[in-house]
Structure 1
Amino acid sequence: MRLKKYTDYALRVMIYTASKPDGELASKGEISKVFHISENHLGKIVHQLNKLGMLETIRGRSGGIKLAQAPKDINIGFVVRAMEDDFHLLECFDQDRNYCVITPACKLKHILNDALYAFLNVLDQYTLDDLLANKDELQVLMDMK
């Protein structure tokens, strides 16, 4: 299974924002520069994370982005599910576009469905806080220190 870049970038935004020293706001410009992602694309991601209640955006001259919840309360499985628009691993996962003639007898779909649930269940076991266990190293790599 492969996650979209959109989901990858959303997770990076969350890690970056959570890695900021206490009280400091992040900006789309900073995140764009660190990860080489267009600010326009980041704007869409930040907007969706804000709508989900993961990020808070503060407008104005001294505005920016901060977490809307504690890192221990932000579940990675939830974020991935919210950012991915489908989990159609194969054609047969999409009832509207499934033209495979063996679907009624095929066991592969069930095996892959089990694998997908196992993947998501593993992600459900982690929070943003788990991704910050090496926060000092992350801060150095993201040029915060």
Structure 2
Amino acid sequence: MRLTIRTNLAVRVLMHCAVNSGRLVRSADIAESCNASGNHLAQVIHRLQLCGYVDTQRGRQGGLTLSRPASEISMGELFRKFEASVPFTECFDPSSNSCPLAHACRMRRFLARATEAFYRELDEVTLEDLVDGNSELHDLLTLAPREPMLEGCAAQFN
């Protein structure tokens, strides 16, 4: 089993926000620390927002934050939302299944059970489980304090 880049980035974004709880996190900071494409990351952040995982604020002082506590974000739920559109195997998608064995093959049933067991296991894991007490992750993702913005253009020349 291999996760899509989208799901992998979604977990990274959420971990970044959880480590920096209480402040807006810029997508550029996430892209840099997680070695991710800004364009791909923007698509993932948009989907996270639509799914209710993050709140975003646009503009120069914008960024994103978790929309709910890390203890309430289930990795199983997240993986289902991000991976549901990608069939595990060809025969899981009736519209594109061209396997001549599909009607007689019993493997599909076992794969379906194994996939569900995978998600059930992840249902027990929260975002909080991934970040709390993980000092190495905090060292990698904690953002330095931002410099305060100067008010107006005149402040730049004084």
TM-score normalised over the length of structure 2: 0.84
Three-state SS of the structure 1 residue aligned to 2:127 is coil
Q: Deviations over 1:114-136 (max 9, x none)?
A: 10010011111111111113343
Runs (4 or more) in structure 1 with deviation over 4 Å come to none
- The residue type equivalent to 1:37 in the other structure is A
Shift of 1:143: 5.4
Q: Unaligned 5+ residue runs, structure 2?
A: 145-158
| Distance apart, 1:87 and its partner CA | 4.3
Is the aligned partner of 1:19 residue 2:19? yes
Deviation per residue, 1:15-73 (Å, 9 max, x gap): 011001x4221110100111111111111111111111100001232221100000011
CA contact (8 A) 1:58 1:64 kept: yes
Q: Counterpart in 1 of 2:126?
A: 127
| Structure 2 counterpart SS, 1:57 | strand
Q: Give, as a single letter, the amino acid of the residue that structure 2 aligns with 1:69.
A: R
Residue of structure 1 in register with 2:80 after alignment: 81
Q: Which aligned pairs between 1:75-114 and structure 2 lie closer than 5 A?
A: 75-114=74-113
Aligned residue pairs total 144
> Equivalent residue for 1:2?
2
Q: Which residue of 1 is the match for residue 156 of structure 2?
A: none
Identity of aligned residues (%): 35
Structure 1's unaligned 5+ residue stretches are: none
Give the Cα separation in 1 of the matches to 2:42 and 2:63: 12
Partner in structure 1 of residue 50 of structure 2: 51
Closer, same or farther: CA 62–87 of 1 in aligned 2, 3 Å: closer
Paired with 2:76 and 2:124, the residues of 1 have a C-alpha distance of: 8
Quote the Cα distance in structure 2 between the aligned partners of 1:91 and 1:114: 16
Equivalent residue runs for 1:30-69 within 5 Å: 30-69=29-68
Larger radius of gyration, structure 1 or 2? Answer: 2
